[in-house]
């Protein structure tokens, strides 16, 4: 089941691309934008995350911390982050627990890859409640950043 607006955000602890543990519930007091994406180094994922990189000041002004999440390893995510000069952490959901908790997991994706994150976006407010949720079935589409930005404006 997909995590829903108005519900507490499912908590998780994941390693970031720098091998640091991050626990969502420890970020209370900040708005959080979680961007699940299928696979590092693919064209749509790269375009999406680079657009966020280029607009990070907007998210920071909304007191929002941004995190990209995929089932890639921390090592692949670290290489991807540095090659694309991404200025926010990438979290490895290698064991697929966060993707499942947010209803954001393809059971069978392209080329018979099992358990790949669906492209999705969640805005979590300072109290840990989901205020925006979008899970895309088509990995070729990007989240509605206009709606995400409007949600963040109401929270700042």
The answer to whether residue 41 scores a pLDDT higher than 80 is yes
Domain count, the chain: 1
Q: Give residue 107's pLDDT band: very low, low, confident or very high (50, 70, 90).
A: confident
* Rounded-to-integer distance, Cα 8 and Cα 57, Å: 26
> Residue 6 falls within a domain, yes or no?
no
In-domain check, residue 2 = no
Once rounded to an integer, what is the mean pLDDT over residues 30-51? 95
Cite the active site residues: 45
pLDDT digits (tens, 9 = 90+) for 61-101: 888 999 999 999 999 999 999 999 999 999 999 999 999 99
Q: Is residue 5 domain-resident? A: no
- pLDDT confidence of 111, banded at 50, 70, 90? low
pLDDT band with cut points at 50, 70 and 90 for residue 35 = very high
SS3 state of residue 69: strand
- The answer to whether 3 and 36 are in contact (CB under 8 A) is no
State the alpha helices, DSSP H only, in the chain: 43-54, 56-61, 74-83, 97-101, 145-155
In a domain, 3, yes or no: no
Q: What is the CATH number of the domain that holds 24?
A: 3.40.30.10
Which residues does 71 contact at the CB level (< 8 Å), separation at least 6? 39, 92, 93, 94, 96, 99, 115, 116, 117
pLDDT at 110: 64
Residue 23 pLDDT > 90: yes
43 lies in which domain range?
A: 13-155
CB 62 within 8 A of CB 155: yes
pLDDT of residue 109: 66
- CB-CB contact of 65 with 30 (8 Å): yes
Q: How far, in Å, CA of 42 to CA of 151, rounded?
A: 28
Q: Is residue 1 part of a domain?
A: no
Average pLDDT, stretch 140-145?
94
- The token pair that represents 97 in the structure block: 């627990």
Kindly report, residue by residue over 112-122, the tens digit of the pLDDT: 767 889 999 99
What's the alpha-carbon Rg for the chain, to the nearest Å?
14
**What integer pLDDT is reported at residue 156 of this predicted model?**
74
């Amino acid at each position: 089941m997909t995590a829903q607006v108005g519900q507490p955000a499912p908590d998780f602890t994941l390693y970031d691309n720098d091998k640091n543990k991050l626990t969502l519930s420890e970020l209370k007091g900040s708005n959080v934008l979680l961007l699940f994406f299928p696979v590092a180094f693919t064209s749509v994922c790269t375009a999406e995350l680079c657009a966020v990189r280029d607009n990070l000041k907007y998210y920071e002004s909304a007191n929002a911390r941004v995190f990209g999440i995929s089932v890639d390893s921390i090592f692949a995510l670290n290489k991807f982050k540095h090659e694309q000069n991404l200025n926010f952490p990438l979290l490895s959901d290698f064991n697929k627990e966060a993707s499942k908790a947010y209803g954001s997991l393809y059971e069978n994706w392209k080329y018979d890859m099992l358990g790949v994150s669906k492209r999705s976006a969640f805005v979590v407010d300072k109290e840990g409640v989901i205020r925006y949720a979008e899970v895309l079935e088509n990995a070729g589409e990007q989240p509605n950043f206009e709606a995400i930005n409007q949600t963040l404006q109401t929270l700042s």
